[in-house]
Amino acid sequence: MNDRYTRTAIYLHWLVALGLIGTFALGLYMPDLALSPTKLKLYAWHKWAGVTLFLLVLIRLGWRLSHPAPPLPATVAPMLRWVSHVNHGLMYGLMLVIPLSGWLMSSALGFQTSWFGVLPLPDLLARDVGLGERLIVLHQALNYLLLALVVIHTGAALKHHFVDRDEVLERMLPRRQKPHP
């Protein structure tokens, strides 16, 4: 039995993590900007990143379903195992629902979503500004919920590494090549 994640799982994990950090930061930054070409460009980038992350999460989920995660150490209490599984499930769910909520929001507000400015995606809703404004609140709330779950996830990984001193964190880190003598 392998105690590490596959190389593909590791790289998808960190690619999605970096993408989420960047997209979340951009999502915090851009709303307060004055209307300008720069603001419109940042919104387009945010949408491109959201669509890309949605696709990467689908790939990651497919990989995870066909390559199960290594089991947690036997020292992890059953309740904490359950919490870990629930947290992972919620994070995966939110990583799929958040981009969809953004797409619904954009559709309702009358702003078509496109991928890299090349592939226009169909609007999922008819224009309805009132609904769009409610979807803004939903999109933000879902992002903050994901942030809270990521903080719990990160805190648990750091606890395993620094307090429990087990290999739970290390099995998700890329292996460093040992230098040749």
Closest Cα to residue 1, out of 63, 71, 76? 71
Residue 180 pLDDT > 60 = no
**pTM for the whole structure:** 0.93
Given pLDDT bands bounded at 50, 70 and 90, which one contains residue 6?
Answer: very high
Report the C-alpha gap between 156 and 48 in whole angstroms. Answer: 31
Rg from Cα positions in the chain: 19
Q: What is the pLDDT of residue 181?
A: 58
Average pLDDT score over residue span 29-33: 96
Residue 141 pLDDT > 50 = yes
Given pLDDT bands bounded at 50, 70 and 90, which one contains residue 117?
Answer: confident
Report the C-alpha gap between 88 and 49 in whole angstroms. Answer: 21
Q: What is the pLDDT of residue 1?
A: 45
Averaged pLDDT score across all residues of the chain: 95
Q: What are the structural domain ranges in the chain? A: 7-172
Element of type H or E holding 115: strand 114-115
pLDDT of 85-109, one tens digit each?
999 999 999 999 999 999 999 999 9
Q: What class is the 7-172 domain?
A: mainly alpha
Residue 179 pLDDT > 70 = no
Answer for the pair 103, 130: CB distance below 8 angstroms, yes or no.
Answer: no
Low-confidence winner among 38-47, 48-57, 91-100, 167-176 (lowest mean pLDDT): 167-176
